[in-house]
Structure formats: structure tokens, C-alpha cells
Amino acid sequence: MPGFELFGDKERAQVNEVLDTGVLMRYGFDGMRKGRWKAKELENALEERFSVKHAQLVSSGTAALTVALASAGIGAGDEVIMPTFTFVASFESILAIGAIPVLVDVDDTLTLHPAAVEKAITNRTKVVMPVHMCGSMADLGVLKTICKKHGLLLLEDACQAIGGTYQGKPLGSIGDLGCFSFDYVKTITCGEGGAVITNTSEYHTHADHYSDHGHDHIGTDRGAEKHPFLGYNYRISELNAAVGLAQIERLDDFLAIQKKNYSILRTALETIPEVTFRRVPEGGEESYAFLNFFLPDAKTAKKVHSTLGKEGVDACFYWFDNNWHYYKKWDHLTNLTSLGNMPLEVKRQLPDYRESDFSLSDHWIGRTISCLIKLGWSDDEVNDRAQQMRRVIISAL
């Protein structure tokens, strides 16, 4: 998945254009910048690539989620449904605006289980936030129907699945709002950065203002800009955007490499009858950022993961035991361990997730191993890795 593996001349040339003028800020300084607007240009490229009306760049994927929620008017006391398997950024962004994260089960798609979503809806629910983890997607058709029926927003976290599609549409462009991350380990990188995409002009205007202190960006005099509402600083810098401009041009090449390497690994494992693969919803095509497969039980999965590690087959993850990505280890969320006081509303409503019944998630995540697909592997390296993985799995069964 990581674009940083192929950082090169194109990225350097883009960054040098920014260094040449010295205008590192995305807004203003019109006279000094010699017509160079890297953030603006990358937003246009994102709009074109994802066939959406609007893209707003921000400083990170976490900022993108926060800005997306804020742009739709989500705030204190509102409930946002999110999966038990994700990255901590999901609940961080929800808590940042005073809203309440409501965790629900994942199924064999490794993303939101639609029936669990429907069960979790209350009269305070405002948003359903599927997270397209590890290169593949939630069952977006069903989630869309649920959202429509209950009048909820669908916000896609496509940070790990850029380039994947559902019914021919790019992931991120299917919900009311979609978010990407361009941090250093994502498929394409800005170093740090993120984006919100939407077809709703009002959300975009809000995102544009909110991510820059609420400035309305009207007129040419920065000091005279008005503030229709309170905002914050989630701006991206021109340097980061410049890196992203070079990387987005290479996205299709990166996806092709991912697909090639993924296919070699998958073909090797497919001949083992006990290995099954993550379900991709009908009409979906993965981004091939990871190969995700199931072993018959948690004990075997644990053993395979540990043997792969010992044998030097890196980049394979057993999420069940992972602090960053699975609810079981999120004590800081369950206990609301924060530096200052949390809003009482959140404190009162947050359930004890360790006591919640997420046996469906445990069933699937307990058996899952995910292998990051790297861009820099040689053909020999992928083939060796495929044979090594086959051998380790067969001997663990």
C-alpha cells in the first residue's frame, strides 16, 4: 500500500516548485507565488479522479473525518455508528466534535455488519460511518438503504481503500461524504494530509471555512474575511500538497502493482482448502492494498501469524491482538482517559465496550490475517513470500 516506497523525481520536482517561490501556505500571497497553487490543483485532481463536485484538502485523514462530521452539522450528543474494527481515528474524530461513538459489529466483509447497524439506531443517531479497512468495502448498497430509511448520513472512511470501487463508482464517492488519508503509510502519500469529498456544495463550503478558522475565503483581503461560524486550523501546507500532486498521477500505476502482487499471493493460498477469503460485497472491487484471509479458528490464525513473524515474513497482521485497530484493547476509549474533562453527555452515554457483545466481530477478526501488499517487492520476492506463506499455513493446520 505505501506510496512512500516509490517517492522519487516527480515528487521532488513538485516540492522544488514550492521551494522556488517559498510560498508554503495554501491561501493568499498571490503576488509571490508565481501562479502556483498546489493544494488547489490537488483538489481539482481529486475531484476529477473521483468524479465528485468537491474536494477539500486538510492536514490529515483524522482531520478529514472531523471536518466532514462538522461540515454536516454533527455535534454534541449526536450518535455516530462506527465499526469495532477500524483505526482509533474513527472515535477520535467523533469525540473531537463532542459526538458519541457507537460501536457495532463487523462481519465477513471485515466492515460494518448491516443488521448490527440497524439494531444500533436510536433517535439520536445522525451518521453511519463505514470504514473500508484493508482495501475493501462495506456493503454500501444495504447501508445506503438503511440510511435513507432512517434519515441518516453515510460517511465513508476510505483512508485504506483509495482506488477501490463499488458498482463502478470510486469508494469515498458513494456516501454523502467520503474521507481519504495521505499519511506516510497510505497508498498515496502527502507525508501528512487528508481530503473530504462530497457532491453537496453546502458541506464543501462548510468544510472549506471550518478547516481554516471559519474564514469565509471571500474577497482578496485575508484580514477582512468574515467568520460565519467557529472553526479550527486543519489546513494542509503547499509542501504536502505538492507531494500528493505527484503521487495522484501515479495512483493507477500503484493500484496495478498492488493487484499484481495481491494476485500472486492469493493464487498460492487459494489451493489450501482451509483458507477462505474476506467477502467483497457484490459489485465491489478491492483496491488490493491488503490480502485478507480467514483460517479455520483463532488458534490456528495466531499460530500462523507468529510463525510468519519468526520466519521473517513481515507485514502480516493479526488484528485481534492489535491495540490500534480492534475494540478489545481500546481501554482509553472505554475509560475515557483524557487529559482534561470529557463532555458529560459523552461520559454518560458511552457503554463499556469490554462488556458489550461483539461475538460476531470476535468470530471473524479472531480468524483473520491481513498481509500488506507492498509496491517495491520484486517478482522473485513476491513468489518466495507466497511459497513461504503456503508452507507456514499448511504446517499449522
Nearest to 304 by CA among 330, 260, 272, 258: 272
For ligand PLP, the binding residues in 85-144 under the rule CB under 6 A are 86-87, 89, 131
Angle between helices 38-49 and 9-21 (to 10 degrees): 140
Candidate segments 154-162, 271-279, 301-309, 333-341, binder of ligand PLP by CB under 6 A:
154-162
Residue among 87 and 319 whose Cβ is closer to ligand PLP: 87
Residue (14 or 189) nearer to ligand PLP, CB: 189
178 is a contact residue toward ligand PLP (CB under 6 A): no
317 binds ligand PLP (CB under 6 A): no
164: contact with ligand PLP by CB under 6 A: no
How big is the site for ligand PLP, counted in residues (CB under 6 A)? Answer: 13
Q: Identify the CA nearest to 83 among candidates 133, 121, 125, 122.
A: 133
Stretch that binds ligand PLP, among 57-65, 214-222, 243-251, 328-336 (CB under 6 A): 57-65
Q: How far apart are CA 141 and CA 283, in angstroms?
A: 9
Q: Does residue 187 interact with ligand PLP by CB under 6 A? A: no
Q: Which of 11, 79, 107, 157 binds ligand PLP (CB under 6 A)?
A: 157
Q: Whose Cβ is closer to ligand PLP: residue 94's or residue 393's?
A: 94
Torsion-angle region of 102 (φ positive above 0: left; ψ -120 to 50: alpha; else: beta): beta
Q: Are 11 and 249 in contact (CB under 8 A)?
A: no
By CB atoms closer than 10 A (0-12, 13-18, 19+), residue 367 is buried
Interface with ligand PLP, residue 330, by CB under 6 A: no
Partnered with residue 365 across adjacent β-strands are none
| Residue 291 contacts ligand PLP per CB under 6 A | no
Q: Is 194 in the site for ligand PLP (CB under 6 A)?
A: yes
Residues marked as catalytic: 186
Q: Which residue is nearest to ligand PLP (CB)?
A: 61
Does 244 bind ligand PLP (CB under 6 A)? Our answer is no
End-to-end Cα distance, the chain: 29
Return the number of the residue (193 or 295) whose C-beta is nearest ligand PLP. 193
The reply on whether position 160 binds ligand PLP by CB under 6 A is yes
| Residue 237 and residue 24 in contact, taking contact as beta carbons nearer than 8 Å | yes
Query: Does the footprint of ligand PLP cover residue 82 (CB under 6 A)?
Result: no
CB of 254 to ligand PLP, least distance (A): 16
Quick one: which segment of 36-44, 60-68, 212-220, 333-341 binds ligand PLP (CB under 6 A)? 60-68
| Residue ranges that bind ligand PLP, judged by CB under 6 A | 60-62, 86-87, 89, 131, 157, 159-160, 181, 183, 194
